[in-house]
Chain A
Amino acid sequence: MRALAKSIRIHALKMTSAGGSSHVGAVFSMADIVAVLYGGVLRVDPSAPQWPDRDRFILSKGHAGAGVYAALAERGFFPVDRLSQHYRDGSVFSGHVSHKGIPGVELSTGSLGHGLSVGAGMAYGAKLDSKGHRIFVLLSDGECDEGSNWEAILFAAHHRLDNLVAIVDYNRLQSLAPVSETLELEPFADKWRAFGWAVVEVDGHDHVCLQRALRAVPGSPGRPTAVIAHTIKGKGVSFMENTVLWHYRTAKGDEFERALAELEAL
């Protein structure tokens, strides 16, 4: 998983630099979560991406799509060399995650606040069909500004969807400024609890803690689980960490070389 997290970061750095795209900080923030999911939690089969009993993973913070493409390639859903097409003219590897022509992507997203409702629908359907698979949805903290999420949060608790997990990549920085200066989410865990969810707070870069939290699902029978993952935006590259700048900036030239050196030393 450590190796997978490192690969995700290096691929994402290369993909965003080569294609000139944004959001590398947002990928680094969730890289450990995605590595733990694809490295040791999700029951998926790269040779059968549509296996009916697979666990579903939805990246609702679609702007970090490069990280999911990298994880899927590393897990063998498609050849790693396809990643070089990211963000290029005529490529299916859009900046925001897309399912068309990319095995393993469950849902195309990019506009925030969509993934949790679709995930809740999948979870509701799994319950109707008495299926045992689980649905994991990864959201950003800024994304929780979107009211549609709270519709889904109400729904999932009401219908006791304990096969649904919302993971929030809580790096406390959104597009222009810190969450606390934009729209305060705190007391964040209490909000989820008040809506009827089981809440687990973890260090979103600690693979052991992440595994423990994510493998335990459903940890609280009859209740959906929120995993609030405390993370650092830009994690892994010293000059990108905890800066709003690297939500949008693309690493070029010397910045790229320095970032790559730091990631390779991880």
Chain B
Amino acid sequence: MRDAFIGRLTQLAAANPRLFLITGDLGFGVLTKFAAARPGQFLNAGVAESNMTGLATGLALEGRIVFTYSIGNFPTLRCLEQVRNDAAYHEANVKIVAIGGGFSYGALGMSHHATEDLAVLRSVPGITVVSPGCLWEVEEVTEALVQTPGTCYLRLDKSSAGRTNRPGEYFQLGKIRTLRSGRDVTLLATGGILAQALQAADQLAADGVQARVLSAHTIRPFDSETVFRACRETGGIITVEGHVGGGGLGGLVAETCLEGGVVPRAFYRIGLRAGFASVVGSQEYLRARYGMDGAAIVASAHQMVQRAGRLTVAGRVDSAR
């Protein structure tokens, strides 16, 4: 995803001299192309994320569109107060980019697991929060953020669902994309773990369960209408995210549906539920270990469909009385 991001950003920077990129001394071999092509629009701020975010705010208040770039929790949690007080409160054109969402850097240990960022960032007023699931979404959302005023957060992942766009598809920030149609259950995913949701849908189809797969690349503003439709039209909603179970996409859907008075027939959140991951491993290993892989999604969907079947039978008995 980071290559897709930096590729598109390099193109955009060539066309827009006000676009600026600051790294917190990370991006070895990745940012080189941008730095070489746009030396006047690139800065390495050193290992100093608080200062990096303050600098970005200062540059943005003076008319630039500033991307800050680092790994995992460094450009977000490490300098959260600068994100909140400096960038967001001043509605500064600062676009925070974290590579390594979820367990992307699983083997590096807990410090590099970005598993609470969506919950934290979406709680800060005024921040547009995006978490693309495929390479096309990364490119499109990068361009969209340049056009979006104010502070934004872009969460990138090592994994991705490849390219999921249809020929001629038009990208819309804040609009959930429907990748598979189906009525038995909805798999609503955000981020690179979308790939697991698609795999799960294939398996489910082979098992005779038609899963609708939705990609929620934008967490804020949130497309509640598409979620409400899924609530009405499908047997239940399973949210899928490389993030803790609470506060991220799953929490957002629960809040939105309960407050909107549109409650799914069944609901389950696929996410990290075991506390901090103190063992390490590849992204694939950790997802499997913590019940966040394709197999876990398939199992949850089957359980939901079976339970819905029982409820439907009971409901018929009730209505017959």
A37 interface residue (CB < 8 Å to B) = no
Smallest beta-carbon distance A146→chain B, Å: 9
Q: Which residues in chain B, 56-94, are within 8 Å of chain A measured between CB atoms?
A: 56-64, 81-82, 85-86, 89-90
B46-A154 in contact (CB<8A): yes
Contact A120 B90 (CB under 8 A): no
Chain B residues closer than 8 Å to A147, beta-carbon distance:
50
B190 at the A interface (CB under 8 A): no
Task: Decide: A154 and B48 in contact? CB cutoff 8 A.
Answer: yes
CB distance A120 to B54 under 8 Å? Answer: yes
Given A117-B50, A128-B40, A148-B51; A122-B59 close (CB under 8 Å): yes
- Taking residues whose C-beta sits less than 8 angstroms from the other chain, chain A's interface range is 20 to 34
Contact: B86 with A120, CB < 8 Å? no
| Shortest distance from the beta carbon of A35 to any chain B beta carbon, whole Å | 25
B48 touches A118 (CB 8 A): no
Does B53 sit within 8 A of A, measured CB to CB?
yes
Q: Are the C-beta atoms of A111 and B58 separated by less than 8 Å?
A: no
In this complex, what residue of B is CB-closest to A99?
A: B90
Which residues of chain B are within 8 angstroms of A124 by Cβ–Cβ distance?
A: 43, 55, 58-59
Query: In the complex the two chains form, is B58's CB within 8 Å of A108's CB?
Result: no
Asked whether A121 is an interface residue with its Cβ less than 8 Å from the other chain, the reply is yes
Q: Which of A136-163 contact B (CB under 8 A)?
A: 147-148, 151-152, 154-155
Does residue B35 face the partner (Cβ distance < 8 Å to A)?
Answer: no
Bound Cα distance A125, B64 (Å): 8
B262 is an interface residue with CB less than 8 A from chain A: no
Q: Are B51 and A155 in contact (CB under 8 A)?
A: yes
A100-141 interface code vs B (CB 8 A; 1 in, 0 out):
000000111111011011111111111011000000000000
B26 lies within 8 A of chain A by Cβ: no
A-B contact count (CB 8 A): 85
Consensus secondary structure, chain B interface:
helix
Question: Is B305 an interface residue when CB atoms closer than 8 A count as contact?
Answer: no
Q: How far is the CB of A147 from chain B (nearest CB, A)?
A: 8
Contact partners of A116 in chain B: CB under 8 A: 54
Contact A151 B59, CB 8 Å, known A114-B85, A118-B86: no
B contact residues around A151 at 8 Å (CB):
46, 48, 50-51
B204-227 vs A, Cβ < 8 Å mask (1 yes, 0 no): 000000000000000000000000
By the criterion CB–CB under 8 Å, are B62 and A152 in contact? Answer: no
Is there an interface contact between A125 and B53, defined as CB atoms closer than 8 Å?
Answer: no
Q: Are B59 and A117 interface neighbours, CB within 8 A?
A: no
Which of B53, B54, B86 has the most chain A CB within a 10 Å cutoff?
B54
In the bound complex, residues from chain B placing their C-beta under 8 Å from that of A148 are 50-51, 54, 82
Determine whether the beta carbon of B64 is less than 8 Å from that of A152. no
| Cross-chain contact B50 with A121 (CB below 8 angstroms) | no
- Inter-chain CA distance A107–B58, complex, in Å, is 9
- CB-nearest residue of chain B to A116: B54
Contacts of A118 in B (CB 8 A): 54-55, 57-58, 61, 86
Minimum CB–CB distance from A159 to chain B (whole Å) comes to 9
Task: Please tell me if B124 contacts chain A, counting CB pairs below 8 Å.
Answer: no
Q: Which listed residue (A117, A128, A154) contacts B54, Cβ 8 A? A: A117
A26 to chain B, nearest CB (A): 19
Question: Is B85 in contact with A120, judged by CB distance below 8 angstroms?
Answer: no
Partner of A117, one of B60, B64, B82: B82
B61 CB contact (under 8 Å) in A110, A120, A122: A122
The reply to whether A125 and B59 form a contact with Cβ atoms under 8 Å apart is yes
The reply to whether the CB of B45 lies closer than 8 angstroms to some CB of chain A is yes
Question: Within the complex, which residue of A99, A110, A111, A121 is in contact with B55, where a contact is CB–CB below 8 Å?
Answer: A121
Give Cα distance in the complex from A97 to B112, angstroms. 36
Q: How far is the CA of A183 from the CA of B39 in the complex (A)?
A: 40
> Hey, which chain B residues are within 8 Å of A113, CB to CB?
50
Which residue in chain B gives the minimum CB-CB distance to A120? B55
> Cβ of B90 and Cβ of A125 under 8 Å apart?
no
Complex Cα gap A152–B45 (Å): 10
Q: Is the CB of A117 within 8 A of B53?
A: yes
Interchain nearest-CB distance for B74 vs A (Å): 13
Q: How far is the CA of A147 from the CA of B50 in the complex (A)?
A: 9
Contacts of B43 in A (CB 8 A): 124
**In angstroms, how far is the closest chain B Cβ from the Cβ of A197?**
15
Tell me the smallest distance from the CB of B144 to a CB of chain A, in Å.
24
Contact B86 A114 (CB under 8 A): yes
Report how far A161 CA is from B176 CA in the complex, Å: 45
Binding site for B on A (CB under 8 A): 99, 106-111, 113-114, 116-126, 128-129, 147-148, 151-152, 154-155
* Contact sample, A vs B, 20 pairs, CB 8 Å cutoff: A107-B86, A108-B89, A117-B50, A117-B51, A117-B54, A117-B58, A121-B54, A122-B58, A124-B43, A124-B58, A125-B58, A125-B59, A125-B64, A126-B62, A147-B50, A148-B54, A151-B48, A151-B50, A152-B51, A152-B54
Given contacts A116-B54, A123-B58, A151-B46, 13 further A-B contacts (CB under 8 A): A108-B90, A117-B57, A119-B58, A121-B56, A121-B59, A124-B43, A124-B58, A126-B62, A129-B62, A148-B50, A151-B51, A152-B51, A152-B54
Binding site for A on B (CB under 8 A): 40, 43, 45-46, 48, 50-51, 53-64, 81-82, 85-86, 89-90
State the 8 A-B residue pairs at the shortest beta-carbon distance, nearest first. Answer: A121-B58, A117-B54, A151-B51, A121-B55, A151-B48, A125-B62, A122-B58, A148-B50
